[in-house]
């Protein structure tokens, strides 16, 4: 039976955390881009998608339960 590489076994938790951190960073950048786009919209455009200026200021579209995908 082949033994697992000890380096892989020891570093595996760190690789998972780095991937998770990277995923969170990408998600934050995407939400920031969307927030900027929402802030640039006028009242009519926001009303068309069911939001108000107050919703955008309070970041309502981003205060939802998140789905974490791997």
pLDDT in tens, the chain (70 residues): 555 555 555 666 665 556 678 888 888 899 899 999 999 999 999 999 988 999 888 888 776 655 545 4
Helix, strand and coil percent figures for the chain, each rounded to 5: 70, 0, 30
Say whether pTM exceeds 0.85. no
Tell me the C-alpha distance between 46 and 29, whole Å.
21
- Domain spans in the chain, listed from the N-terminal domain onward: 13-62
């Amino acid at each position: 039976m082949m033994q697992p590489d000890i380096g892989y076994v020891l570093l595996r938790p760190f690789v998972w955390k780095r991937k998770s951190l990277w995923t969170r960073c990408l998600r934050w950048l995407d939400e920031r881009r969307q927030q900027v786009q929402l802030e640039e919209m006028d009242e009519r455009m926001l009303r068309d998608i069911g939001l108000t200026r107050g919703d955008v200021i309070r970041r309502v579209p981003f205060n939802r339960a998140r789905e974490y995908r791997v």
